[in-house]
Structure 1
Amino acid sequence: MAALHCCCPPVSGHLRSLPPSSSNRFVPLPPLSSNLLHHHHHHISLAPNPRCVPSAPCAALSSNAIEHLDDAALDSLVGNLNPKEQTLLLKRQRDWRRLLRLFRRMKAQTHYLPNPIHYNVVLRTLGRGRRWDELRLCWIEMAKDGILPTNNSYATLIDVYGKAGLVKEALLWLRHMKSRGVSPDEVTMNTVLRILKDSGQFDKGERFFKGWCDGRVELDFLELDNSELDVVNPEHFLLSELFKSGVRAPISRIASGTEESPRKPRLAATYNTLIDMYGKAGRLKDASDAFATMLRSGVAPDTITFNTMINICRSHGHLSEAEKLLHKMEERRVLPDTKTFNILMSMYASLGDIEAVCKYYKRTREAGLRPDIVSHRIMLHLLCERKMVQELQDTIEEMMKLGASVDEQSVPVVMKMYIDLGLLDEATIFFEKHCSGGGISSKNYAAIIDAFAEKGLWELAEDVFRGEREIGHKKDIVEYNVMIKAYGRAKQYDKAFSLFETMRRCGVWPDDCTYNSLIQMLSVGDSPERAREYIKRMKDAGFKPRCETFSAVIASYSRKHLVSEALDIYNEMKASGVQPNEVVYGLLVDMFAEGGMVEEALHYYRLMEESGLAPNQIVLTSLIKAYSKVSCWQEAQDLYSKMKNMGDGPDIVASNCMINLYANLGMVSEAKLIFDDMRKNMQVDGVSYATMMYLYKSMGMLDEATDVAQEFQKSGLLIDCASYNNVLASYAVSGKLRDSAELLQQMIACEILPDASTFKTIFTILKKGGIPFEAILQLESSYNEGRPYARQTILTSLFSMVEMHDFALECCNSFLAAGFALDSVAYNVAIHAYGASGEINKALNLFMRMQDEGLDPDLVTYIYLVGCYGKAGMIEGLRRIYGLLKYEEIEPNESLYKALVDAYRFAGKHDLAELVDQEMKFSFRTTKYVESEAEDD
């Protein structure tokens, strides 16, 4: 596949002379099946001669207007049409009833001559409408008129049956063709190939295709047998009746039509289907070879061909090949359509490359195309994922101007973004604008309700649930279940049960998910007695509670130390035929161990073994944890020693439990012994390192904690954000600020995004590194508000603080060049980053740019400007800011005073530094005195 681009030869002269198709530019291409039929219609001369202009009545009459014509008027109309115009009028009918009425009036004309083209149109419309009985009658009528079924007839029947999901029945028409002596032409073959592809029968599709190319049509491998049709099934019965009727071809035709000479496909649609089939089968090389064969055969690829190839490359991660194919389209003057750009947008969206997605979204419009629902969905989902609120709102506004709307699948995604960011007013406005009247499905309503519920906003979730809906739109069970869960999360138990009781009156019956939610809710809410009642109601309703449902109630009783009641549920569980699993046994072990009843805990451990469940980490870990809760470390240690003699010995989880037990008791040497054994056996994981770091830090052994952290970093086990956070926190506590920043840079290089815990640790590091308190407050506020550039500004500040200037400026440039509307926080960070790296002119230019955008300098701005002036020796700038501070045009601030002192010293003005230092001490000593006097008064 790496050489895919090599299979496209240079553009030949005759291809260069082909004019570009306007349909590719302005109108989306039709589906593959309709495109095939379109080709076939031309093959049998179904389309009217371009020189034959339809009569005025035919051109002006709409399909709906036929309903209002009486038979006489309709006879007059069709009597004045030639056969081609009659065909056009028939094809315009989308309603099968109007079509049959029109067809009957045509046949009633004395001069009408039955023809296969008209029958094919009728068969197609009836098949699309799944009017199988009417289709059977039409087939019989066709036989009575002596009309032989053509390739187009069979292609039509195969197509409509296949699209109705009746794959076997569709393929049985091949046997019917063979029995009638009709050999499938390329369009019919392609229709069969598409059905086999869509049903996942790739090997059969390839075999059928190759057999057709060799001049033979084998059917045995398709396992087609009329006798397997289910006569009880209406569609199968009607199909068997169809096979009994129909005009047979002459015997000479049947005998001569069984074998043909080898042939090659000549239609681009055939190669499109073949390439798509290989792509869906994961046979990338075969798809590429089919594409190359198409070009060698002189069959010009169309937009669908390139779209299919680009999509195959996208699905297999071959980005460069997809781009090269787009260039080949341009070379061959095959104009891309909206789907082409959608495929490329989807490819880059999966990688999170928003710039590339926006580029192709823009190219769609530059090409004279209109972005469709898929284009908008890709953009909206990616912008929501990145929390780019303003860009999202601009995109939606642009969509509305184009007459598009937010599609149903995107509505809950946008709502969730607003809700997660706390932009509840925006969420409400969006919901009222795009969901007013309930124009979305219950599934998506449930997703919106769940988004509110996750944030504890049960009132807003309730507003969505109880909002007005379109007439005929009924709430599905999924909405009730999600709303019940929302009440449960918010501990609004009365509302949850009230909703449960009203479900039946609304015509919605609870399912097993409803009961499980209520039981889990009551169990978590420490209401095991009521949970037990609902287990009974669940069983009375015909549902069988799962093991997890029983275990939740057992856990609830266990937390309340109601041992006998927990055992009653355990016995009821077994009586219901639900076998306890390791979790249930672990709960019982924990319950008895916490009550000091170790023998009973061991009893249930033995019951687990007797039930055929092999001793495993779940129960053993539960037993060790249970011992740890009652500080029975000796018993836990004995059990751990026994585990060493079992099979391969203790697993990682059991060992980590023991380390954790020792860590909680401050038993350093015992924990270290197990940790060393795990090292020796190559069993150490991230939990082991994290627990040992916690133990050393809790005992004040910071050097040892740092050593473990460094070993953790070198172990290759830093594979997720949580593991990085553990090491980062250890470095932060030990004051290793540079190591912290280097670790964070490594984390970003591994494409692991920092999370909230990471940034919490970074703020601690910034405080320890001497960043002004006011600057840290600004960064925290920007982060909590979810500003799109907040993370980059925090990272820039950290890297600047530890003098990792290259990385600091890289982060800084990422938000300066992103096109966001920046605030003073972002400008402050950028000024500091350039000033700290020695690029004073750039820092001052940013200060001027900040003022040009109407942003006034704040306290942090002055602090960072002072640093720039000091490094550049700009004494006048320092005096000006000092004057503003001295005459209280800037509120006195200790951080700014210290920044001035440091700046004067850096500039070699030690006398002025001493003067400012004395002024600072006097100012804050006076302030404290005044405050003390006020307190005395």
Structure 2
Amino acid sequence: MECVNAKGQHCLFLYTSLTSRELNFVNLNSQKHVNRDLKVSLGFKLQCHSRTLSMPSQRLSTNGKKKSYGGILPSILRSLKSSNDIGSILSSSCQNLSPKEQTVILKEQSQWERVIQVFQWFKSQKDYAPNVIHYNIVLRTLGRAQKWDELRLCWNEMAENGVVPTNNTYGVLIDVYGKVGLVKEALLWIKHMRVRGIFPDEVTMNTVVRVLKDAGEFDSADKFYKDWCRGLVELNDFDLNSGVEDFGVNSAIEPITLKHFLLTELFRIGTRIPNRKVSPEVDNCVRKPRLTSTYNTLIDLYGKAGRLKDAANVFAEMLTTGISMDTITFNTMIYTCGSHGHLAEAETLLLKMEERGLSPDTKTYNIFLSLYANDGNIDGALKCYRRIREVGLFPDVVTHRALLHVLSERNMVEDVENVIAEMEKSHILLDEHSLPRVIKMYINKGLLDRAKILLEKYGLDTELSPRISAAIIDAYAEKGLWFEAESIFLRKRDLAGKKMDVMEYNVMIKAYGKGELYEKAFLLFKSMKNRGTWPDECTYNSLIQMFSGGDLVDEARSLLTEMQGMEFKPTCQTFSAVIASYARLGLMSDAVEVYDMMVHAEVEPNEILYGVLINGFAEIGQAEEALKYFRLMEKSGIAENQIVLTSLIKAFSKVGSLEDARRMYNRMKNMEEDADTIASNSMINLYADLGMVSEAKQIFEDLRERGCADGVSFATMIYLYKNMGMLDEAIEVAEEMKESGLLRDATSFHKVIECYAINGQLRECGELLHEMVMRKLLPDNGTFNVLFTVLNKGGIPVEAVSQLESAYHEGKTYARQAIIAAVFSAVGLHACALELCDTFLKAEVQLDSFAYNVAINAYGAAERIDKALNIFMKMQDQNLKPDLVTYINLVGCYGKAGMIEGVKQIYSQLKYGEIERNKSLFYAIINVFRSANRYDLVQMVTQEMKFSLDSEVYSESELDNLSDEDSLGF
């Protein structure tokens, strides 16, 4: 039965009547158990009553042992393996070898050079007859070694000797070209053999299908197979004439490459070989494959193409036609089911595989290990790993690589180390491809020492490939560990005679960039050429983007020019980075120059680049220029987006162009997504500047209803209401902003504190200021100006406020902390004030008078008079003379302690001119005497103040009123 899931994918259900055996290497979850009573199939059952299939199927050898030979061959092979004197060995032992024995010797040579030498010796013998099998072996060896010139010479010699290529010959050539990615060249061999009248046999057909499958050309592979079954070989769907036309080079279409040249030579030589006559029945008969390997290729093809029903049909066809199945068949089908989410069916196939007498091999368990890992079942993956040894098999490099990848990816340190320990116990070295993953795991867990030990053990003393070395350096770079990355890079670079690959330089440059070590990155770039490694496009793109991000725009621009001079083409992202850097610096004329360079280089701008330009002009208020690039963007076919429209709204807002801003805002509102917060805030700000309360409020309410209002939205509305004199509304918005948790930066705190200060809610100002301190948000200049207002409204003498303002503007040490402490004290947050005072009093720096004055006042206000007086004495110990503010604070302290004599002493100094006469000090003394009900002293001080101060400073009526109050006992 076939079903289709929600995504339209075919789901595969394989029926089997399971025995009582369980998969003993996996504990399946209950939801993944296969229902033993469920009978669902695609029209076939895995059991087959065919007499052919009931017999044990042939199995591939999994023990890795080579085939044993009899006679003199083992001795000859041992001698050839242990000696380089091939001619002497062959001359002494190989005079009378049969062609079959010669074939064995050729096939057993592991290096292409030795194959050529052995083959040359055979041909030098007078009784040697040219043999197509021998040429096939040599052609395969040379092709796998990618020795194309030697292959051409071999083919040439084959033609000269009159050796006619067979289906096997063409299959070999198709295979070697396909495996190195030369798919078009591989297919040209099919064209060549058809011209010569040779129809592909099943092995050759299977090779072509496999080559196309591995290249991802699934539909083409399927078509070639189905055409072959109908007796056809159609190549019309393939563009095989772009480089070679009728086996000759068509130079007008594309330039001649080495591969094309060699292939052309091959075809020209091949056409000199006599053609075979084609039987009229060849192209008309219907064929069905009979080889297990063909069916295995087809299952893999359809599985990789996602055509699960077709894969299942091929599997069913094997059952119904009596094609024997091997381990590869089941492995392929298991992988096909499991990789498409049908893990239960894959498990069923494993049981059926064993029932049919086929033992799972290491690859089988490797497949399940990966499937369980991808499914998140790490325990299942580990059990697969252990099961390999339990059944007498051995984990291979794929096993360890897959398992370590899974465990490292999940940062399972203990399990990774256990696997490595088992490998070492079996004398298996860690695969270099696994090394970067394990190193990355240690880095992620902060275990840098273990990473270093592992590197020293497995990596640094061996010759790591550039790709692996780069991956390790990159693992450190991603975490900003440039020093560790640098040590690995330098150690490898300084190895005697070792040339570093460009990708290794690129990741080291990236590491420096992550650490903002731009000078180091540039010096490394400059040293590359001297060490024989030339930068590539990636090098330039990375450096330019790095310098642009750090606003080192001159260096970035210089590299951009150099890159183009090297005939590299910068990416759009690279140009955007430079333009964005200029835009951030407000250098829009330079940004336009780089844009023009980009257009001249025929690099297509994208929406990001246009957005950068439009926003750059918006920031400096050049709305017309912003609109110009918006129109260019539209002309290029790029759809407008919220970011670009927001920038335009910002531009029009800066120049006060209300109608243009409204037009863009309405366009944004008509998009699928509603207007974004930034654009709405720009409109609110524009309305606020124009005093348009109702319009601003409408947008603000819309944002609030959608849950999109942010701190800027609230702050702008507070600003609007405050400026319009709508203080109640401003306070209401401020309260809501506070309750919504939108006070996140110094600017938003400033707006609310200012609002409370204007309304006289000083305690709330202090509480918000304390919250800023706790969040480690430093008040900005505007906020400090508001704090001075709070101090004035909080009853702090004007002289004390003026002293703090001077200290702040002069940037004196601890001026900011002293101001904040003074505010806390003024609004009654005494504990906060004293905590802050302790901070600067304990500092090992010389404090100015203003700091001591704030501390004396804070401790006095908190009624800790002894501490206040101790601070006064400490101030004198530091050779700081008390100033006017100090005396005012001391009067307050004496008054709270009932120390009237102390106040009298200060009054005496004031009266006789030892202290500068000052209105605030007189009032401080008068207030203490009044609080002590000493109205006689109040009247005395009042009279002294009246006669000692100028009438310009204190009006007669003010002094008379004060005297009247005191005489009445107020």
Aligning the two structures, in what range does the TM-score lie when normalised by the shorter sequence?
0.5 to 0.7
Q: Pick from 226, 243, 268: which aligns with 2:270?
A: 243
After superposition, the C-alpha distances for 1:835-893 in whole angstroms (9 at most, x for unaligned) are: xxxxxxxxxxxxxxxxxxxxxxxxxxxxxxxxxxxxxxxxxxxxxxxxxxxxxxxxxxx
Aligned amino acid, residue 418 of structure 1? Y
Q: Distance in 2 between matches of 1:138 and 1:610?
A: 60
1:121 equivalent in alignment to 2:137: yes
Change over 3 Å in CA distance of 1:393–1:627 after alignment to 2: farther
Aligned amino acid, residue 670 of structure 2? G
1:297 equivalent in alignment to 2:321: yes
Instruction: Report the 3-state secondary structure (helix = DSSP H, G, I; strand = E; otherwise coil) of the residue aligned with 1:53.
Output: coil
TM-score, normalised to structure 2, is: 0.60
Mapping of 1:265-664 within 5 angstroms? 265-437=289-461, 439-468=463-492, 473-543=498-568, 548-549=573-574, 551-553=576-578, 555-556=580-581, 559-560=584-585, 563=586, 565-574=587-596, 577=599, 598=621, 600-606=622-628, 608-609=630-631, 612=634, 616-624=641-649, 641-646=662-667, 649=670, 652=673, 654-658=675-679
1:191 equivalent in alignment to 2:211: no
Aligned amino acid, residue 318 of structure 1? H
Q: Is the 8 Å Cα contact of residues 25 and 336 (structure 1) preserved in structure 2?
A: no
Q: 1:59: how far off?
A: 5.5
Q: Distance in 1 between matches of 2:64 and 2:351?
A: 21
Q: Is the 8 Å Cα contact of residues 399 and 405 (structure 1) preserved in structure 2?
A: yes
Q: Please name the residue that 1:61 is paired with.
A: 78
Q: Distance in 2 between matches of 1:651 and 1:503?
A: 50
Q: 1:4: how far off?
A: 3.6
Mapping of 1:1-16 within 5 angstroms? 1-5=11-15, 6=41, 7-10=44-47, 12=49
Q: Distance in 1 between matches of 2:237 and 2:345?
A: 36
Cα RMSD after superposing both structures:
4.5
Q: Distance in 2 between matches of 1:85 and 1:524?
A: 68
Q: 1:679: how far off?
A: 10
Change over 3 Å in CA distance of 1:659–1:466 after alignment to 2: same
Q: Distance in 1 between matches of 2:157 and 2:576?
A: 66
Aligned amino acid, residue 448 of structure 1? I
Q: Is the 8 Å Cα contact of residues 563 and 569 (structure 2) preserved in structure 1?
A: yes
Q: 1:292: how far off?
A: 0.5
After superposition, the C-alpha distances for 1:630-681 in whole angstroms (9 at most, x for unaligned) are: 8x9xx5986653235438636647432255569999999988844775799x
Instruction: Report the 3-state secondary structure (helix = DSSP H, G, I; strand = E; otherwise coil) of the residue aligned with 2:676.
Output: helix
Q: 1:688: how far off?
A: 6.7
Q: 1:229: how far off?
A: 3.0
Aligned amino acid, residue 55 of structure 1? I
Q: Distance in 2 between matches of 1:267 and 1:25?
A: 20
Structure 2, unmatched stretches of 5+, are 1-10, 16-40, 250-255, 718-730, 743-774, 776-866, 872-970
Q: Pick from 90, 102, 125: which aligns with 1:86?
A: 102
Aligned amino acid, residue 106 of structure 2? L
Q: How many residues align?
A: 673
After superposition, the C-alpha distances for 1:224-252 in whole angstroms (9 at most, x for unaligned) are: 77744344633223322332233555x5x
Aligned amino acid, residue 74 of structure 1? L
Q: Is the 8 Å Cα contact of residues 140 and 246 (structure 1) preserved in structure 2?
A: no
Instruction: Report the 3-state secondary structure (helix = DSSP H, G, I; strand = E; otherwise coil) of the residue aligned with 1:468.
Output: helix
After superposition, the C-alpha distances for 1:93-112 in whole angstroms (9 at most, x for unaligned) are: 23344334434444555655
Change over 3 Å in CA distance of 1:653–1:57 after alignment to 2: same
Q: Distance in 2 between matches of 1:436 and 1:361?
A: 29
Percent identity for Structure 1 against Structure 2: 47
Aligned amino acid, residue 104 of structure 2? L
Greater Rg over alpha carbons, structure? 2
Q: Pick from 214, 217, 221: which aligns with 1:205?
A: 221
Aligned amino acid, residue 437 of structure 2? V
Q: Distance in 2 between matches of 1:121 and 1:540?
A: 48
Q: Distance in 2 between matches of 1:697 and 1:79?
A: 108
Q: 1:297: how far off?
A: 0.6
Q: Distance in 2 between matches of 1:446 and 1:62?
A: 42
Q: 1:320: how far off?
A: 2.0
After superposition, the C-alpha distances for 1:238-282 in whole angstroms (9 at most, x for unaligned) are: 322332233555x5xx44663575443221101111222222333
Q: Is the 8 Å Cα contact of residues 143 and 247 (structure 1) preserved in structure 2?
A: no
Q: Distance in 2 between matches of 1:53 and 1:353?
A: 49
Q: Distance in 1 between matches of 2:565 and 2:157?
A: 56
Mapping of 1:151-230 within 5 angstroms? 151-174=167-190, 177-178=193-194, 182-214=198-230, 227-230=245-248
Q: Is the 8 Å Cα contact of residues 580 and 612 (structure 2) preserved in structure 1?
A: yes
Q: Is the 8 Å Cα contact of residues 26 and 368 (structure 1) preserved in structure 2?
A: no
Change over 3 Å in CA distance of 1:653–1:84 after alignment to 2: same
Q: 1:459: how far off?
A: 1.4
Q: 1:198: how far off?
A: 3.1
Q: 1:294: how far off?
A: 0.9
Q: Which has the higher helix share?
A: 1
Q: Distance in 1 between matches of 2:369 and 2:210?
A: 26
Change over 3 Å in CA distance of 1:377–1:157 after alignment to 2: closer
TM-score, normalised to structure 1, is: 0.62
Q: Is the 8 Å Cα contact of residues 139 and 246 (structure 1) preserved in structure 2?
A: no
Q: Distance in 1 between matches of 2:551 and 2:275?
A: 77
Q: Distance in 2 between matches of 1:549 and 1:221?
A: 39
Aligned amino acid, residue 423 of structure 1? L
Q: Is the 8 Å Cα contact of residues 213 and 262 (structure 1) preserved in structure 2?
A: yes
Q: Is the 8 Å Cα contact of residues 212 and 221 (structure 2) preserved in structure 1?
A: yes
Mapping of 1:732-811 within 5 angstroms? none
Q: Is the 8 Å Cα contact of residues 684 and 699 (structure 2) preserved in structure 1?
A: no
Instruction: Report the 3-state secondary structure (helix = DSSP H, G, I; strand = E; otherwise coil) of the residue aligned with 1:336.
Output: coil
Q: Is the 8 Å Cα contact of residues 645 and 668 (structure 2) preserved in structure 1?
A: no
Instruction: Report the 3-state secondary structure (helix = DSSP H, G, I; strand = E; otherwise coil) of the residue aligned with 1:359.
Output: helix
Q: Is the 8 Å Cα contact of residues 230 and 236 (structure 1) preserved in structure 2?
A: no
Aligned amino acid, residue 264 of structure 2? F
Instruction: Report the 3-state secondary structure (helix = DSSP H, G, I; strand = E; otherwise coil) of the residue aligned with 2:492.
Output: coil
1:95 equivalent in alignment to 2:111: yes
Change over 3 Å in CA distance of 1:327–1:665 after alignment to 2: farther
Instruction: Report the 3-state secondary structure (helix = DSSP H, G, I; strand = E; otherwise coil) of the residue aligned with 1:193.
Output: helix
Q: Please name the residue that 1:26 is paired with.
A: 63
Change over 3 Å in CA distance of 1:508–1:208 after alignment to 2: closer
Bigger CA drift: 175-184 or 382-391? 175-184
Q: Distance in 2 between matches of 1:303 and 1:677?
A: 66
Q: 1:333: how far off?
A: 2.1
Q: Distance in 1 between matches of 2:280 and 2:570?
A: 66
Aligned amino acid, residue 54 of structure 1? G
Aligned amino acid, residue 2 of structure 1? L
Q: Please name the residue that 2:828 is paired with.
A: none
Q: Is the 8 Å Cα contact of residues 215 and 263 (structure 1) preserved in structure 2?
A: yes
